[in-house]
Structure formats: C-alpha cells, structure tokens
Amino acid sequence: MERKDELRKMLIELQYEIVGKIAQEMGKKLEEDPRMSSLSPMDVGDLSHLDQDEDVDYALLNRHVERLREVEDALGRLEGGTYGICEDCGATIKLERLKVLPFTTCCVRCQERREQTGQGSKLKQMKLGKDFEL
C-alpha cells in the first residue's frame, strides 16, 4: 500500500505541474498576442510571423496535453490495480523506472523490444517532435 500511495502522490503532483504549465502557456500567449489589443495595427508580415509562432506554441501545448492524458491514464490504471504492471509481459515495473517515466506501461525489456520491432515509444516520438492525435 505504501508503494501505491507514493505513486499516487507522484502522479497527482505531476498532473498539477502539467496543468499549471498549460495554463501558464495559454495565459502568456493571450497576454503577448497583439491581436488581443485594438491598439496594435498589424500587416500581413506581422500576421505571418504570429502564425508561425502559434504553430510552435501549439506543438508545445500539444505535448503538454498528451503528457497530461498519459498521467491521467496512469492514475486510472493505479485505481484499477494495473499501474506498474507491464502490459506486455505482466512483470512489475521497477519503482525507479516509474519515477523517471511515471506514465510508462512497459518494463525496460519490453520497451526495448518494442523499439527494436519498430513500435517505438511515445516518449521517443515526443523527443523527435512528432505530434499525436488529440
């Protein structure tokens, strides 16, 4: 029970951290967006630059939202009794791995096998900057 409580606390803290990042990014963007001010005349070049910035901001926000979903899924697995159990082999995922990747669903061995067979991991895809379906 101690392990479950520690993991729940870790996941909830991570959830709050991610929600805070999302709120901060959205608030910052609204404050900085000159289109929100009627005092700021903008030409086509300005709008094009803003669109490019928004694409970058959207990608970052997309990553935060995906991470939040993964944490919420992990909390659901924790309540369902399957969190920390490898979905491929059924082995217990080591606590050290869960602390580093709290939303992981596989042990190290099965994750390596997935990557070798081309399935890859969401974390690896995120590092490569690939988007996920929302």
Q: Are the CB atoms for 10 and 103 separated by under 8 Å?
A: no
Homologous superfamily assigned to 2-127: DksA, coiled-coil domain (1.20.120.910)
Terminal-residue alpha carbon distance, the chain: 33
Average pLDDT over residues 5-34: 81
What is the structure's pLDDT at 125? Answer: 55
Mean pLDDT of all residues in the chain? 77
Domain locations along the chain:
2-127
Q: Please give the distance of CA 13 from its chain centroid, rounded to a whole number.
A: 14
Q: What is the pLDDT of residues 83-115, one digit of tens each?
A: 999 999 999 999 999 999 999 999 999 999 988
Q: Per-residue pLDDT for 18 more than 60?
A: yes
Q: Are the CB atoms for 84 and 93 separated by under 8 Å?
A: yes
Q: What is the pLDDT of residues 51-83, one digit of tens each?
A: 555 555 677 888 888 999 999 999 999 999 999
**Helical (H) or strand (E) element with 14:** helix 2-32
